[in-house]
Chains A and B, each alone.
Chain A
């Protein structure tokens, strides 16, 4: 190695060095630099340290269950619950058949009737004939209120491009009467199954477009959410990915997934939930794969000139768009 001739630091290097050392024994307080002790003293006096009883009262007020006048439907001994139909009338027809075969006494849909698939109004007569009890998802909210977008909340330009395409298509393919009907759907429902009370929502009990993914919905959070919204089981959709957790308290949280498009797992089936009263006063929750004529759906989508990216999802089981919303864990399991 050649000998290096030591050189004097440049002015820039001297300044950089000074910056690295500038805070020895000092604290930064907003825009000022003050002796560390002064900052620490001010901090020790700042904020509040409530007495234990007041802390307990603050927590009790924060976690207090909320009143909800929603009437309770039922009781049933078994119901089928689906979400995210996304105009997939083939899957909806298959679901009605499958649910009846399995003895479901009622079928619920948690919203997002349109988007993604072809000819959105074709699901309407099926919903009526099947007596499906639906909720308003963000799609129905947007369509019924004349919003310019689906309110999915994407920021990625590519995701937004496809979300916009599918929203525009759905918007112009739905009659005003269908849209008005969507506006009459409730935003939540309460249903008794056996002795347990279920709360059915689209995204979460807090927001229609809140995403409850498995990897970002920790048990303590779900426990607090279900307790605050007074239910034995919370059922939601909106993410398109199904999962089920039994909480330490015995409550259940189920994301029923979507029957409109596959679950980004390389399978062409879609998913829904069957919830039954179990022998021991609890609930039996099953997430079920549902086969339907996905080739027929793909053909119709092509005939309607919907993006080939959407068709690919139907045929391959992998999502090609709207991936931005996936948390790290779900995204890592994704093909695209």
Chain B
């Protein structure tokens, strides 16, 4: 348990490692505040579609690491866990980790997302595409895509994991704040 706790704390400390910026002395990585932690606990609801019927689920989302190509060039493009909305929405690629409970079963999704700005540098509308794996009682490759609005706070995402027999397709209403 202590090792797990130490691992989590070490991961949360990673933002300090991403502060490097050759050109600019004031380049703060956003800190993992209590408010941020609480918002990360809010899950996004989803519906899984498959046999025998649609199932309700919830999904959490974490970003162990993100690279932004849209943010201003004088700043470090790297972020760990805490990511400002514009840093993601203006064009980025990230590793995602998503614990999920779908119809009572715990799953874990991980892979890579790329987000592309469509309107107002992505603050008004952005497209996200991704691929990865679903791990649970069944394992499968998965593909994801969706649109997000309002600084990325609200999104509609579709996932498809062909080898998850109970719910290969899911539709998620994504809530995300940082």
| A and B associate in one complex | no
Which positions in A face B, CB cutoff 8 Å? none
Which positions in B face A, CB cutoff 8 Å? none
